Amino acid sequence: MADRSLRGMRLGSQSLQSEEGVTFSPRVSHTYLCATCGRVTVMIFSAEAEAPDEWECRFCSQTATRLVDSKPVVVDHSDEKIARTHWDMLLERRTRAELEELLEERLTVLRQRRGQKVGA
């Protein structure tokens, strides 16, 4: 670095380091096909890394599937948990008959508060 002059140089914006003696890690490219828009995305990963079977499509943000020998990989989603809704959790605590009985009680209270005739 002694042979280079720093005068007038934009420090921080340009690297003075060369690529001499640098060995890059081996890389592998994987192809992903989006079923929604039909476009192909090529992603480059380290050869040591395990490539995911699904990737977000960069064009439409939907899920793209990895291609192996020009065929999409079959992704097994059977081990994934299905999100429970509030209704599902409520049905775990009470039966449908109990819920209908509670609904009728609350509707009766609301109708009485409004001054409506009960049973109308």
Q: Which of 53, 49, 59, 43 shows the shortest CA–CA distance to 80?
A: 53
CA-based end-to-end distance of the chain = 93
Question: 12-16, 69-73, 102-106: which has the highest mean pLDDT?
Answer: 102-106
Structural domain includes residue 12:
no
Convert the pLDDT of each residue in 32-59 to its tens digit. Answer: 999 899 899 999 999 999 989 999 998 8
Q: Return the half-sphere exposure (C-beta side, CA atoms, 13 A cut-off) of residue 16.
A: 10
Structural domain includes residue 22:
no
Position 77 scores a pLDDT of 76
- Indicate whether 95 and 60 sit together in one domain: no
The pTM assigned to this predicted structure is 0.52
Better-scored residue on pLDDT, 1 or 68: 68
Domain that holds residue 100: 83-119
Structural domain includes residue 107:
yes
Q: Per-residue confidence at 9, pLDDT binned at 50, 70, 90?
A: low
Q: Is the confidence at residue 92, as pLDDT, over 90?
A: yes
Which residues lie below 8 Å from residue 67, measured CB to CB, with a gap of 6+?
30, 31, 32, 33, 40, 73
Position 79 scores a pLDDT of 77
Structural domain includes residue 98:
yes
Better-scored residue on pLDDT, 31 or 17: 31
Position 32 scores a pLDDT of 94
CA 50, CA 75: separation in Å to the nearest integer? 15
Question: Considering its fold, how many domains does the chain have in total?
Answer: 2
Mean per-residue pLDDT of the chain: 85
